[in-house]
């Protein structure tokens, strides 16, 4: 999935899509889902894949892209 608007969001001058891992707030900006929604999805086991590294929650951009891709409606599905 390649949406230029999503990939233009940057933190520390590195596009979010090019980062190895995103914090919950960065994943929120990347997906346009609120941080509270991502937390609820983690608790319910219904959201995108994530890793817990120590006390940190980290999302890979590729997992966020996969999650969004699985929820596409209409058009040609892959």
Q: How far apart are CA 48 and CA 64, in angstroms?
A: 6
pTM, full prediction: 0.74
pLDDT digits (tens, 9 = 90+) for 25-56: 999 999 999 999 999 999 999 999 999 999 99
Question: pLDDT band at residue 75, thresholds of 50, 70 and 90?
Answer: confident
The residues, any chain, with a CB within 8 Å of residue 14's CB and separated by 6 or more, are: none
Higher-pLDDT residue of 11 and 26 is: 26
Mean pLDDT of all residues belonging to the chain: 85
């Amino acid at each position: 999935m390649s949406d230029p608007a999503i990939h233009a969001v940057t933190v520390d001058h590195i596009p979010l899509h090019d980062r190895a891992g995103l914090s919950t707030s960065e994943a929120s900006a990347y997906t346009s889902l609120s941080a509270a929604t991502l937390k609820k999805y983690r608790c319910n086991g219904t959201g995108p894949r994530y890793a817990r590294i120590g006390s940190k929650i980290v999302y890979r951009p590729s997992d966020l892209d996969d999650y969004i891709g699985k929820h596409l409606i209409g058009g040609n599905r892959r």
